[in-house]
Amino acid sequence: MKVTTRFLLATAVVWIDASTSRSAPLASNAVHEQSFQLPADAGSGLYARVTTPLSAGAPPSDAELKPHTDATNLTQYVNIFVGTEANDDPGDVFAGASVPYGMAKATINVEGYAPAGYVWPSDKPTRGVSPLHDSGTGSSSGSYGNFCIMPILCADNELDACTTLLEPRERMRRNGTDHGRPGYFTTTLDNGIRIELTSTRRSTLEKYTFPAAEMRRAKSNPHLVLDWTNDSPGTFRGGEMKADWQQGRLTMNGTWLSSFGPGDFRYQAFQCVDLLFQGKQRLSAHAFFGGNRRGYDTKRQDLDHWVRVAQQIGQYQAGALVRFDVDREAKEDVTIMVRRGVSFASAENACRNMEAEVGDWDFDATVASSEAAWEDKLRRIELSAATPDYIQRLFYTSMYRTFLSPNNATGDSPFATDSPYFDGMYCTWDTFRTLFPFLSLTSPHEFGEIVETYIDGWRKEGWLPECRANQVKGFVQGANHGVPVLADFAVKYAKAASSLGVDTDELYRAMQHDIDVPWPQWEYEGRQAAPYQLYGYIPFGYLDPASVGEQTREASRSLEYAFGDFTAAMTAQALGKPVEDVQRYAMASLNYSLNFDHGTMSDGFKTFVQRRRANGTFVPSDPTFCSPLDNNSSHACSLQAENDFGVYESSSWEYSFYAPHDRAGLVELMGGNATFEKRLDHFFSKGYFAPGNEPSFDTPTLYHVLGKPYRSVRRVREVVDTYFSLKPGGIPGNDDNAAMASLLGFYLLGFYPTPGTKELLILSPFMPGYTLHNPVLGKATVNVVGYDERSIGKTIPQGVKAFVSEVRIDGKRHTSRCRLSFDDLFPGTPEGERKVEIVLTEQEMEGCGDTDGDWPMSLSTGGFLDLKGTRRPS
Ligand SMILES: *[C@@H]1O[C@H](CO)[C@@H](O)[C@H](O)[C@H]1NC(C)=O
Ligand SMILES: *[C@@H]1O[C@H](CO)[C@@H](O)[C@H](O)[C@H]1NC(C)=O
Ligand SMILES: *[C@@H]1O[C@H](CO)[C@@H](O)[C@H](O)[C@H]1NC(C)=O
Ligand SMILES: *[C@@H]1O[C@H](CO)[C@@H](O)[C@H](O)[C@H]1NC(C)=O
Ligand SMILES: *[C@@H]1O[C@H](CO)[C@@H](O)[C@H](O)[C@H]1NC(C)=O
Ligand SMILES: *[C@@H]1O[C@H](CO)[C@@H](O)[C@H](O)[C@H]1NC(C)=O
Ligand SMILES: *[C@@H]1O[C@H](CO)[C@@H](O)[C@H](O)[C@H]1NC(C)=O
Ligand SMILES: *[C@@H]1O[C@H](CO)[C@@H](O)[C@H](O)[C@H]1NC(C)=O
Ligand SMILES: *[C@@H]1O[C@H](CO)[C@@H](O)[C@H](O)[C@H]1NC(C)=O
């Protein structure tokens, strides 16, 4: 998902113009404790960066210069701030305290454009600390951000002098005080108050340290504002707040609007806050407050219960205010501890969650156990100790984010269920391509739980979720992509499925239902199935009485439906379903070609995806619309009715390369190898490639299908070097729940997946070797024979080994140098071990191997499925 204004959606919430937060150039003394801060002039290529002595900028610490020897501490390589810069293509990454899949994601909320709460640089004021966030989603006014706690001082301890409302209470933070690592975050406000956060799955521990000098100067005790009504987008629709002042416990709840859905999709959130730190802290005053942006700010000390409905005009702010009883004249700074729990089910759950998870209020122990949980995830891929430090950091920083979301809300779901429940799966259009295939390498248990959440969505609400966010369904983006997610699990883990908690018969039923049955409201889930089945594509200008939805995205949805059909065929085959099912879905998937108009020309190339009428005629638009080169800012590129060129959040230039199941067929459709290669080159050189947009993920590796794997390797090196780094702006667009992180993860490991299949295109690893640990399929050790660090920059110098000449599996020559199967990688048993050698050469070797089977698979040339005699319609 993108967030330039053309991609913004008109929903019930107010959208903030992303372009108002321009980026400042990266200061070399910036932020990040754990990060490898490179001087801006450290050379252009990665190789240069890796070898340039760190003279300029921040002095490197010892840890940074030493080769890594302590293989058990991988969290040290994670920079939680990558992707937090508020620039023109922001990553919108969450930077704060979270455990893997944490439902509690604690960080500060800053003003302005900050969908995940935190942004870099620190040029916007902070409104408080919220325990609820998503990561990498593009909703421009943010997701969650509820229940901010803000530490403040009140002049002369006058309650009326306490600035409780959003704007008056905001403070800048001190530059250079943001630090963090997995499980821990800290920053300091400009008045010296230090914030430190850690968390468990559904709870947080928060430390607010008030400087003694500042308290004396203001003649103020420590105070906390506990915001009740404000979420980031400002959508409060009523709720309740209760205080037990004796116990120092507050419970709050409310109803808010989902961040990626229509105004009638609402969610509830609950929190429970403890303020007395097991009797070590005392309150000396308390109040409820209410006010508005016009300066009305009033407090009452006699209340302990408040039920309020949403206001129709304006935005009313409310919450609680507490003062802590401390000796202000003492010389020491005062640290106030806060414990809170959250839930999407009830206030009781929220209290129970924190009592169970942070019963002892032990901040350091909570940090340590969060770090251990992260270590456990990261250790599943062990990079060779000889891996360049920069690559270690890039890799583990990305791998960390692949476990940051979705949010594990099991036990706190809005509906009763015995299944695992994950929230913030937003959107599957983003994540099906690389996130789930990446998860499949090491984490079948986690993958199984998330798949079960999709299936449970079908059980409970009738359809596979596409963009479930804030515990409610969202908008469909490209199509119903729960299908390829289920398929990826089914083809790789069919045998182990039941031990992973997934019933494959149910999985298949849910999938078939999602594909075959027209959904009356395809904009929320499911498909516009009836006309698609009838025509083989979604016709434009067609009255469809079976499904309601805006007349948009016909061409790209058709391509995505077709790919979904293909993955259903793969699933049917993997699960031993009737061969007619395999045939039917496979045939349907080849209908993707019906969307290509041979009559459209652009830059001298013909054949582009276009809208098509039921009578077969095309309704063409300029294929450059909504590409990075499109200068017309009035073009609507997203879900809007005004998006009238048939393609979703992308250009026809970009989507016309999209047929991952039939790449060879696509080459033929576009006029053969030579034309295709020229067109692909033009796509990159002219600037149609959108590195931060998911439909572009496939394009750098399309050279494989031309038998030029070395060109894919060169292209991927260029993409990684140009668009990815460890800087706050180090990803080229929204991370989209780690879509971007998992793409980079694959590129660095030297593979590229086709979701819903076992196919892996072989690239060239950025490190000399690594081991994948899979608890179901065993251990895979990849060794890169002839690895040369000089190859990992933007361009591969002459004579440097970087291209694959041969692959050996357990010592035996694997005949292809372009592809292997997921099954080739893993031994298949938990105790098993497989050795894969990737042998490099400096020569650009043409072709993939000697036989058809060595080439990347394509459906219409006999790959993936046995479909003799089937033809792609022209
Ligand atoms: C891991 O490394 C980081 C950074 O050096 C350090 O802060 C942390 O304490 C280490 N963790 C363990 C468990 O050793
Ligand atoms: C911090 O740095 C930013 C620029 O990166 C600047 O705009 C801001 O004013 C600085 N804040 C403070 C509190 O000095
Ligand atoms: C929260 O909302 C529910 C209604 O869904 C209400 O019954 C409950 O008492 C509310 N209050 C708290 C503090 O949980
Ligand atoms: C999600 O939370 C449940 C309940 O604590 C736990 O059993 C499960 O392992 C968690 N799943 C993941 C993937 O972290
Ligand atoms: C493929 O498209 C044709 C129209 O060209 C249509 O008749 C057929 O039903 C489609 N195939 C499937 C399996 O949907
Ligand atoms: C298809 O339908 C459009 C719109 O009704 C019409 O303009 C066009 O002439 C038709 N083409 C054919 C070949 O029937
Ligand atoms: C956009 O504007 C630039 C500079 O004016 C021009 O070179 C380019 O061709 C334009 N692009 C499109 C797609 O119109
Ligand atoms: C820009 O796009 C809008 C909306 O499609 C269109 O009305 C307008 O004519 C376009 N402007 C130019 C200069 O092409
Ligand atoms: C394209 O290249 C592949 C691989 O070299 C070859 O098998 C195929 O026949 C070529 N196609 C055409 C149309 O030349």
Is the shortest distance between the CB of 386 and ligand 7 below 6 Å?
no
Structure tokens at 214: 């500042």
Task: Please indicate whether residue 403, judged by its CB atom, sits closer than 6 Å to ligand 4.
Answer: no
Confidence of residue 872 (pLDDT cuts 50, 70, 90): low
Q: What are the residues facing 606 on neighbouring strands? A: 601
Give the span between the Cα atoms of 484 and 433, in whole angstroms.
8
Return the number of other C-beta atoms located less than 10 Å from residue 303's C-beta: 16
Distance CA 838, CA 786 (A): 9
Report the pLDDT value the prediction gives residue 330, as an integer from 0 to 100: 84
Ligand 7 pocket member 629 (CB < 6 A): yes
Beta bridge pairs of residue 834 = 780
Interval 406-420: pLDDT, tens: 999 999 998 899 999
CA of 212 to the centre of ligand 9 (A): 76
Specify the domain boundaries for CATH 2.70.98.10 within the chain: 79-377
24-33, 297-306, 737-746, 748-757: which has the minimum mean pLDDT? 24-33
Which ligand has the shortest distance to the CA of 631?
A: 7
Average pLDDT of the chain, as a whole number? 91
| pLDDT at residue 152 in the model | 98
In order, the DSSP letters of 572-615 are: HHHTT--HHHHHHHHHHHHGGGGGEEEEEEETTEEEEE-EEBTT
pLDDT band (50, 70, 90) for residue 848: very high
Determine the Cα–Cα distance for residues 396 and 381; give it in Å rounded to an integer: 9
Distance 449 CA to ligand 4 centre (A): 8
C-beta neighbour count of 402 within 10 angstroms: 27
Q: Is 236 in contact with 314 (CB distance < 8 Å)?
A: no
Tell me, what's the pLDDT at 67?
A: 36
Q: Probe ligand 3: pick from 304, 346, 348, 412, max atoms within 8 Å of CB?
A: 346
Query: For 23-36, how does the pLDDT look when each residue is reduced to its tens digit (9 = 90+)?
Result: 222 222 222 323 32
- Strands 203-210, 334-343: parallel, antiparallel or unpaired by DSSP? antiparallel
Q: What is the number of the ligand 3 atom nearest to the C-alpha of 241?
A: 13
DSSP letter for each residue of 306-328? EEEPPPSSS--EEEEEEEE---T
Query: What pLDDT score was predicted for residue 714?
Result: 98
Cis peptide before 406 (omega within 30 of 0): yes
- Closest atom of ligand 1 to 368 CA is 13
Please tell me the predicted confidence (pLDDT) of residue 48: 29
Higher-pLDDT residue of 705, 64 = 705
Report the nearest-CA residue for atom 1 of ligand 3.
Answer: 253
pLDDT on residue 873: 55
**Strands 803-809 and 618-619, sheet pairing:** unpaired
Q: What angle do CA 97, 100, 103 make, to 5 degrees?
A: 70
Contact present, 115 and 140 (Cβ < 8 Å): yes
Amino acid 263: pLDDT: 78
Among 663, 670, 673, 708, name the best residue to mutate to test ligand 9's pocket (greatest count of ligand atoms within 8 A of Cβ): 673
For residue 662, give the nearest of 593, 599, 612 by alpha carbon. Answer: 593
Residue 28 CB less than 6 A away from ligand 2: no
Backbone angles phi, psi at 408, to 5 degrees: -75, 100
Determine the Cα angle at 243 with ends 241 and 247, to 5°: 150
Q: Whose CA is nearest to atom 10 of ligand 8?
A: 632
DSSP, residue by residue, 44-66:
SSHHHHHHS---SSSPPPHHHHS
> What are the pLDDT digits (tens) for 313-335?
877 899 999 999 998 888 999 99
What distance in Å separates the CA atoms of residue 18 and residue 1, rounded to the nearest whole number? 13
- Residue ranges of the chain assigned to CATH 3.30.2080: 403-409+732-873
Longest Cα–Cα distance of the chain, Å, equals: 88
b vs e for 317-345, b when ≥16 Cβ sit within 10 Å of the residue's Cβ? bbbbbbbbebebeeeebbbbbbbbbbbbb
Ligand nearest to the CA of 26: 2
Contact 288, 264 (CB under 8 A): no
pLDDT band at 682 (very low <50, low <70, confident <90, very high): very high
Q: What is the mean pLDDT of residues 503-515?
A: 98
Phi, psi of 483 (to 5 degrees): -60, -55
Pairing of strands 833-841, 778-785: parallel
> Residue 408 contacts by C-beta under 8 Å, 6 or more apart in sequence?
101, 102, 103, 201, 420, 421, 422, 449
The DSSP annotation for 803-830 comes to: EEEEEEETTEEES-SSEEEHHHH--SST
Q: Could you report how far apart the first and last alpha carbons of the chain are, in Å?
A: 32
CB atoms within 10 A of CB 865: 22
Thinking of the domain 79-377, which architecture would CATH place it in? Distorted Sandwich (2.70)
The neighbouring-strand residues paired with 239 are 254, 308
pLDDT beyond 60 at 874: no
pLDDT at 657 over 70: yes
Mean of pLDDT values over 272-296: 95
Instruction: Using alpha carbons, list the distances in angstroms from residue 217 to 115, 145, 197, 220.
Output: 35, 31, 26, 8
pLDDT tens, position by position, 33-87 = 233 232 232 222 332 233 222 222 232 333 333 334 455 699 999 999 999 999 9
Q: What whole-number percentage of the chain has pLDDT above 70?
A: 91
Q: Report pLDDT for 294.
A: 84
Q: What is the mean pLDDT of residues 774-797?
A: 98
Gap from CA of 741 to ligand 7 centroid (Å): 31
Distance CA(71)–CA(135), nearest Å, equals: 28
- For 258-271, what is each residue's pLDDT tens digit? 988 887 899 999 99
- Across 132-166, b (16+ Cβ under 10 Å) vs e yields bbbbbbbbbbbbbbbbbbbbbbbeebebeebbbbb
Distance from residue 150's CA to the centre of ligand 2 (Å): 20
Cα–Cα separations (whole angstroms), residue 859 to 487, 490, 582, 590: 16, 19, 12, 8
453-500 pLDDT per residue, tens = 999 999 999 999 999 999 998 999 999 999 999 999 999 999 999 999
Contacts of 216 (CB under 8 A, 6+ apart): 328, 329
Helical H segments across 182-311, by residue range:
212-218
Residue nearest to atom 3 of ligand 1 (CA): 76
Q: What is the token pair recorded at 860? A: 């219409």
Query: Which of helix, strand or coil describes residue 205?
Result: strand
The model's pTM is 0.93
Q: What is the 617 CA–ligand 6 centroid distance (Å)?
A: 6
- Asked if residue 251 has its Cβ within 6 Å of ligand 3, the reply is yes
Can you tell me whether residue 305 is helix, strand or coil?
strand
**C-alpha atoms less than 13 angstroms from C-alpha of 397 in its C-beta half-sphere:** 32
207-243: pLDDT as tens digits: 999 999 999 999 999 999 999 999 999 999 999 999 9
Return the residue whose CA atom lies nearest to atom 1 of ligand 4: 408
Residue 476 has, within 13 A of its CA and on its CB side, a CA count of 28
Return the closest-CA partner of residue 736 out of 497, 406, 265: 406
Q: What is the percent of the chain where pLDDT is above 90?
A: 86
Q: Is the CB of 76 within 6 Å of ligand 1?
A: yes
Domain 403-409+732-873 part of CATH 3.30.2080: yes
Distance (Å) of CA 677 to CA 683, 711, 726: 10, 10, 32
Rounded distance between C-alpha atoms, residue 782 and residue 750, angstroms: 10
Q: Which of 551, 662, 499, 519 is nearest to 596 (CA)?
A: 662
